[in-house]
Structure 1
Amino acid sequence: INKKGDQMYALLAICIALCPTRLDENIHAHLREKYGEQLSKMQRG
């Protein structure tokens, strides 16, 4: 279950990098905590 959750968060991070949109604060905080560096790299290009 944890692995599937991690996969879903990783996919969400990719989607947010490609098409930025407003997220729930809890989800956004979790993404920043877990994938912050990768997310910023994807958003920069």
Structure 2
Amino acid sequence: MVHLMLASLLHSFDWKLQDGLKPEDMDMTEKFGLTLRKAQPLQAVPIKP
């Protein structure tokens, strides 16, 4: 059910990166730990279509 709700939210909104960040400027390095996480968390902001 969670997958369906997430897909519904992703499909229902237009999304942008926070603070005008461009996809090519994103830091995609990983942070080592028990699981691999992004060094800089992704923050996306929904915008009205």
Higher helix share: 1
- Which structure's CA Rg is the greater one? 2
Taking structure 1 as the reference length, the TM-score comes to 0.31
Higher strand share: 2
Q: Compare relative contact order (CA 8 Å, sep 6+) and give the higher one, 1 or 2.
A: 1
